[in-house]
Amino acid sequence: MMFSNSVSGQGIVEQTRAMMRVDATQYPVARIVASCNNWLDTITGYAIGADRRFQWDNTNQTALPIGTTNLVANQAEYSFLTDEQGNSIINLTRIDILDPSGSYRQLIPIDQAQLSGVALDEWNKTAGLPLYYDKTADNIIKLYPKPLTSVTNGLKFYFQRTSPYYVAADTTKTSGFSPLLDRGFVIASSYDGALSLGLANLQPLSIELQKEGAKMEQYFTLRETDEPTVITIKHRSSR
């Protein structure tokens, strides 16, 4: 669904105002943009968290969710806040390092909880070729050991990120999600508008918004149709 289509009246902007029974003065496009971007964040967060095996990414992205950064000698911590397009990085899914042979290999993820009985500053403290990384936050890592030498593009990182947001000038832009979920943007924007303007149809819109949320959950739950369903039988001991 297009963001705005004044000719057909079938864009998100036009359908939102029609559902609210308001005009552009009562509910300007900037308010619809804000609502749609909030709903983008809602669906993006659900898509990423629904199944860790599925590396979801918005189809409006123009570059793959892969980046590189330089290794800096004796620097253990690295942050990955945004991608090259300015999208916020939400979660790191993999880290590779450029080894002396010129090939990337995967670093081993660890957690501080695995290093009980040893001080973190003492574990693998001699600089060398990093073997492990610990995610100290969603997009910040610490390398063990810290690198001995600086290497251009020495780290390759894979990630999940926010979706490209709408702006007021958008017309033909779509959500980057399945068209099956497009109605949710209309309902979410209509609900926000009814809430802020005190419209009489707030309660019906609240019910419709719950339906859209349930539809979204069902969509992502049933997404992996190309993977066989595995049934695990648990045996209970008679003892």
Per-10-residue mean pLDDT, the chain, length 239: 94 97 96 98 91 83 96 97 94 95 96 84 91 92 96 96 96 95 97 96 96 93 59 50
Q: Which two tokens stand for residue 87?
A: 């999208």
CA angle 111, 58, 28 (to 5 degrees): 120
The pLDDT, as a whole number, for residue 226 is: 55
Query: pTM of the entire structure?
Result: 0.85
Token pair, residue 36, equals: 């749609």
Q: What is the pLDDT of residues 170-196, one digit of tens each?
A: 999 999 999 999 999 999 999 999 999
